[in-house]
Amino acid sequence: MNPIPSYPHPLIAREGWSHILIAAVLAAGVQVSFGGWVAAPFWLAFFFVVQFFRDPPRLIAGSGGKSVVAPADGRIVAVEECEDPWLQRRALKVSVFMNVFNVHSNRAPVDGEVLQKWYHPGAFVNAALDKASSENERCALHFRVAGTVDVTCVQVAGLVARRILNYAEQGTRYARGERYGFIRFGSRVDLYLPLQTRVAVAIGEKVYASSSLIAELP
């Protein structure tokens, strides 16, 4: 593990500040107007919103420039060879599904430069399903690692998620574990890796953004 990097949004993600404020004002207003029992569901909703937008600092897994770390918290739902639809190549696909109780801050999976960025509008089917990768709203980044190795990282919206936030731009260089985006309310992230990659996770395994090692590139 590497040390925790400098972290611009401690504990609560900036994407959630307005949602948390609205939930707090609504719950407080109901309590003042109608009392604690009526307000209880609103306070539960407030605490749910707070936990959803938590964004803790993390240790960074891996020991070198070829390490691939988890881009999101969640459960591995796919480890398979398939077609990378963004770079038109055969690749190893590793997918992380995030439920509404996971941290939804997304982190760079590799040390590399963003060569391309694509946004594709789409549907909002359950992100745990394989067809979400091809049918749902998504935003993809093409990372170039060590000058020669290509990695595709794709944020995919889910059944409830209606907003993909991606702050990366072409030419931006990232260290693995650096924050680059956020998806609101349930989603997945797909990684497309070279076929020679040594994958370190299995389907069903729980992973944590930045601090779980996904693979080692060739």
Q: Is the dihedral of CA 170, 165, 154, 9 positive or negative?
A: positive
Residue 146 in contact with residue 110, Cβ under 8 Å? no
Catalytic residue selected from 67, 105, 187, 211: 187
Taking the C-alpha atoms of residue 191 and residue 201, their distance in angstroms, rounded to an integer, is 13
Within 13 Å, how many C-alpha atoms sit on residue 101's CB side? 2
- Region for residue 88 given its phi and psi (left: phi exceeds 0; alpha: psi -120 to 50; beta: otherwise): left
Q: Which helix (H) or strand (E) holds 154?
A: strand 149-157
Q: Find residue 216's DSSP bridge partners.
A: 67, 198
Q: Is 187 a catalytic residue?
A: yes
Taking the C-alpha atoms of residue 128 and residue 96, their distance in angstroms, rounded to an integer, is 9
| Assigned token pair, 156 | 């995919």
Q: Which residues of 177-193 are buried (b: 16+ CB within 10 A; e: fewer)?
A: bbbbbbbbbbbbbbbbb
The residues that are catalytic are: 187
